Amino acid sequence: MDFFEILFPVSGVKTHVFIPPLVALVVSFFTSMGGISGAFLLLPFQMSVLNYTSPSVSGTNFVFNIVAIPSGVYRYIREKRMAWPMTWVVAAGTLPGVFIGYYLRVAYLPDPKAFKLFVGCVLLYIGVRLLYEMTGKAAAGKEKTKALEERFRQRAAEMKQKQSARFAAGLPPEAVVRTVSFSISRVEYEFWGERFSFSTGGMLVLAFFVGIIGGTYGIGGGAIIAPFCVAVFHLPVYTVAGAALMGTFITSIAGAAFYSLVPSSLNTSPDWLLGLLFGAGGFAGMYLGARFQKFVPQRFIKLMLGLIIVFLSVKYIIEYF
- pLDDT the model gives residue 275: 92
pLDDT digits (tens, 9 = 90+) for 129-149: 778 767 766 655 455 556 666
Per DSSP (E only), the strands in the chain are: 5-8, 13-16, 177-182, 186-191, 194-199
Nearest-angstrom CA–CA distance, 42 and 21:
11
Long-range contacts of 301-304 (CB under 8 A, 24+ apart): 301/33, 301/34, 301/237, 302/34, 302/130, 302/131, 302/133, 302/134, 302/230, 302/237, 303/131, 303/134, 304/30, 304/33, 304/34
Listing from the earlier edge strand, what are the strands of the sheet with 194-199? 177-182, 186-191, 194-199
In contact, 302 and 152? CB cutoff 8 Å:
no
pLDDT value, residue 72: 79
Look at the alpha carbons of 54, 117, 49, 290 in this order and tell me if their dihedral is positive or negative.
Answer: negative
Could you state, in order of their start, the residue ranges of all structural domains in the chain? Answer: 5-105+149-296
Nearest to 127 by CA among 228, 34, 43: 228
Low-confidence ranges of the chain (pLDDT < 70): 1-3, 34-35, 133, 136-175, 223, 294, 298
**Residue 73, C-beta contacts closer than 8 angstroms, at least 6 positions apart:** 82, 242, 245, 246, 249, 290
C-alpha 23/C-alpha 29 separation (Å) is: 10
- pLDDT digits over 83-115, tens only? 899 999 988 999 899 889 888 888 887 887 787
Residue 264 host element (H or E): none
